[in-house]
Chains A and B, each alone.
Chain A
Amino acid sequence: MAHLRTEGICKNFGGVRALHNVDFSCARGEIHALLGANGSGKSTLSKIITGVVAADRGTVYINNRAAAIHGPNDMFAQGISAVYQELSLIPQLTVAENILLGQEPTRLGGINSKAAWKRAAEVLQTIAAKLDSEIPLHVPVRSLSSAEQQLVEIAKALAREPEILILDEATASLREKEVQVVFEEVRRLREQGCTVIFISHRLEEVFDLCERATVLRNGEVVATVNLAETTEQDLLRHMLGEVASVDSLSVPAPQDRVVLEVKELSSASSFQRINFQLRAGEILGLGGLQGQGQSEVIQAIYGARPYTGRILFEGQEVQIHKPAAAINSGIVLVPGDRHVEGLALQRSVLENVTLPSVAHRSRFGLLKMGREEEVTAGVVERLQVKVADVHLPVNTLSGGNQQKAVIGKWLLTQSKVMLLDDPTKGVDVQARLEIYRSVEELCSQGVSFLLSSSDNKELIALCHRVLVMYEGQIVAELAGEELTEENLVAASMRITPGVKGVS
């Protein structure tokens, strides 16, 4: 018997068809993957199940009974709990406050803070105990890294002791080890009869964790498969119609001219004495375990973090103490956390995409709307951004398409160095390839890239060289033949291949 089932779910947003006649079902105690390209409707389906979005038509059944879920409280009452792709945390509240938000234990009419603290610690322990670094309960979540926030969001969902757990790209900003810890917990929940819906763009995760998968394409269910009898290629074909592969990339060799050089760059406790040269048309990777200072180095070069040391741009020493200075020099940032830094979410796709390059096209301070629409359409076309109308607000795009919009806006500027901070987080396979292609193309035009990524495959596919960071320092440089996944992992953990142990 199906634990959770949907029948004939339809949802349109204005003219955009997000879901069409979706029949979806999973059995009790099953871990069921929900797959599909960016904008195929995965998040929308989750939100309909959780009552955050109302379906136009169709019914959700729980234990074969039609469930009237009109909002989050109905969802909790049904034993459903969700990790949202865009997270549902309150940045100002502490970790403990966030984990129990909406279900604080009370005593004499007030919050019983002792009991709350104990409960929050208990819940967080279920995942955080197995990790190397602990997450303090008392700090506001906005001071956590995005991976830590992700873990807190997961803890918050677990705190509801769900019978049905929806994980919408819950692992997108996590590294291998953290992912495994989360999986362990998910499997434990399954043993207790919890049903899990798992959404991810990383297919190896899907094969590792799930039993069955339902694939959405353009808002319709195209297949439901048993993963044991399915290959990655099959899944990709279901998701995309046709199969594309990363192997087709051929990044041209860099030129000799050095564009950016940093000397003895340090910033408080985040990183120390970083030295490197970036040549024209080069893609330089920053690898290593999560949170070893990679993002911070990128922020410093972008002028968003105070630093000591020197930055030379085209041979000249430059003072970059705010992002405007970086952008003026032609250094731009594609952030991993597009919600915070990359986009003005309420504004339209067109405005977001054209904003940084508007000055190039304006005449006497005036803009031609037609021309703006044309260039936006060009970007949308080139990156295959799925959007019905470029005048719609960016926050109506699916997660992956928002990320493409961030990259798109910098494509229009004549930037010389692009800083990419985990740029394909939450981006589907197809779009990822399109983003790689754009990087490749810009690279052949002499644009240089500094790329930090939580995905080793991405570093290998794109980079000429990778600098591996550990505790704020560069501990290895890998290039050419040496640039393999094995070596990357070993260097990240400071293990010399063949020799066990930490140096």
Chain B
Amino acid sequence: MEERRALEPTFKERAERHAPLLMSVVVFVLIVAVNRFLQPNFFNRFVIRSNITTFLPLIMAAIGQTMVVLTGNIDLSLGSIITVVNVVIITLFGKMPEATGLQLAIPILVGVLVGLLAGTVNGFLIAKLRLQAVIATFASNLFWMGLALAVLPVPGGSVPWDLSSFYRSWFLGLPMSVWFLLLVMVFWALLRRTRLIRYFYAVGGNASNAYRSGIRVEWILIGAYALCGFFAGLSGLALTLDISSGDPLVGHPLTLSSITAVVIGGTLLSGGSGSPIGSILGACILGLVRNIIFFANVPPFYQDFIFGVVVIIALIVSSLGARRRTA
């Protein structure tokens, strides 16, 4: 009797499909365990709040980066867009010292909108002017950096007290930063059902075949960068609420960290497969490794070295899942 292929996904097939994600879950659990061992109060609710609040900017940046990586592109200007959002929000707060209540939402909305716009500009450069993503976003990175410096040449400013205390408050037993994250995850759960997201995967899988299938590839790319910019806006917001000040260089390290988080999360840089859920894990893993290095009392000189080694190990482990799948 011929061995028939199952017409419904079997357990093995499901597992294989999610192998990269499972790998990052494994790494995540391991890292949490180590962290817990070194830091006994790790599961204390204030520690959790502080951790999530610290990780949130990178988490948002990694989700944004995932959008463009899925299409087979990359955004090297992500960190600078986050910086722009940060300085715009802080500057606006500075301009409206009397603001209370809902007025406080204005700088936030403007900030996120600026992120969205910046991303859209990147998208146009790549889709319409057909520039290579690496080159285009490297160049626009300089532009956003310059823009941030022009808006706020020196670090300073602050977030109104009402708002930062709101961000640190609890609602239904959960800190606001966790609600923020949950909201974004719900947003993604809805978003991933749209054609737009399906087409990110299609374009990343094979752009010319996607085109032949009637997909407007240019607009999909612009959509991916716009969405990336939107998440950069959220990242900038989370960052601003966390550090409660403006800094024209603050976002810079987030570019490369976001790419690393995406890869640790099992998304292939070549495009077409992966998910932002993996990237969220990837971002948390990166943050937790920093924690571990701190609590393990590693001498400052070696911290970057150890960090690098651990990140490479995490990348190798998560790529095991991806490699199995493509074999």
Contact = CB atoms under 8 A, between A and B. Distances in A.
Interaction A to B: yes
Interface stretch (A133-141, A182-190, A242-250): A133-141
A111 B193 contact: yes
Given A90-B206, A104-B195, A133 B214 contact: no
A72 interface: yes
B213 A97 contact: no
Given A136-B7, A138-B9, A269-B3, A104 B198 contact: yes
Contacts of A72: 211-214
A477 interface: no
A405 to B, nearest CB: 20
A7 B37 CA distance: 77
A244 B6 CA distance: 47
Nearest to B17: A140
A111 B272 contact: no
B98 interface: no
B195 A73 contact: no
Interface residues of A, number: 36
Contact of B5 (A76, A101, A136): A136
Interface string B180-198: 0000000000100111001
Interface in B97-131: none
Contacts of B213: 72, 88, 90, 101-102, 156
B273 interface: yes
A267 B202 CA distance: 33
Contacts of A113: 193
Chain A contact residues: helix, strand, loop or mixed: loop
Contact of A90 (B7, B195, B201): B201
B193 A97 contact: no
B216 interface: yes
Contacts of A88: 209, 212-213
Residue from the set B2, B6, B205 with the largest chain A CB neighbour count within 10 Å: B205
Given A101-B215, A471-B2, A90 B193 contact: no
Contact of B190 (A76, A110, A134): A110
A461 interface: no
A136 B14 CA distance: 14
A483 to B, nearest CB: 26
A89 interface: yes
A134 B2 CA distance: 12
A112 to B, nearest CB: 9
Interface string B1-40: 0111111110001000100000000000000000000000
A133 B195 contact: no
A109 interface: yes
Nearest to A86: B209
Contacts of B215: 101-102
B5 A133 contact: yes
Contacts of A87: 209
Contacts of A92: 201, 204-205, 272-273
Interface string B190-233: 10011100100110111001111111100000000000000000
Contacts of A93: 198, 201-202, 205
B193 A91 contact: no
A109 B5 CA distance: 34
Given A109-B194, A136-B7, A101 B206 contact: no
A90 B194 contact: no
B26 to A, nearest CB: 23
Contacts of B211: 52, 71-72
Contact of B210 (A101, A269, A471): A101
B198 A111 contact: yes
A175 to B, nearest CB: 16
B198 to A, nearest CB: 6
Interface in A63-79: 71-73, 76
A233 interface: no
B4 A90 contact: no
A324 to B, nearest CB: 16
A103 interface: yes
A84 interface: yes
Contacts of B212: 50, 52, 72, 82, 84, 88
9 contacts: A72-B214, A84-B212, A104-B195, A113-B193, A133-B4, A134-B4, A138-B13, A156-B213, A471-B2
Given A72-B211, A139-B5, 10 more contacts: A92-B273, A101-B202, A101-B214, A106-B195, A110-B193, A111-B193, A111-B195, A134-B4, A136-B5, A140-B17
